[in-house]
């Protein structure tokens, strides 16, 4: 597989992952962190870092909006729930 094709496939996989996470608003970031070690905010940070490597300035809030599909505060108000004690405990143990 040539580099251009690989990059195009990887880009589509990323878009599909982001779209999947946008539709699975029932999956909380803490659950993602506890199970996979990354969450939507991590993706946002990685997106911002990749943009900066290309010389593109992108704020963390703008990167989050790309990943969440809306401003983070809007997503948080609509979908984020309070983490349970077991979720918080698992997070503390793994980090």
pLDDT in tens, 9-51: 999 999 999 999 999 999 999 999 999 999 999 999 999 999 9
* CB contact at 8 A, 38 and 67: no
Contact between 35 and 20 (Cβ < 8 Å) = no
pLDDT tops 90 at residue 64: yes
Mean pLDDT of the chain: 96
What is the number of other CB atoms lying within 10 angstroms of the CB of residue 92?
Answer: 8
Domain edges within the chain? 3-94
pLDDT attached to residue 17: 97
Looking at residue 94, its pLDDT comes to 86
Superfamily of chain region 3-94: SMc04008-like (1.10.3340.10)
Cut 0.85: pTM above it: yes
Contact (CB, 8 A) for 64 and 44: yes
Cβ-based neighbours of 40, under 8 Å, separated by 6 or more:
21, 29, 32, 64, 67, 68
């Amino acid at each position: 597989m040539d580099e251009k094709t690989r990059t195009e496939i990887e880009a589509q996989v990323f878009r599909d992952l982001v779209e999947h996470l946008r539709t699975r608003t029932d999956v909380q970031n803490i659950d993602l962190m506890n199970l996979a070690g990354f969450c939507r905010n991590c993706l946002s940070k990685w997106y911002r870092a990749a943009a900066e490597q290309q010389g593109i300035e992108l704020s963390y809030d703008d990167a989050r909006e790309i990943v969440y599909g809306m401003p983070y505060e809007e997503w948080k108000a609509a979908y984020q729930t309070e983490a349970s004690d077991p979720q918080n405990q698992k997070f503390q143990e793994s980090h």
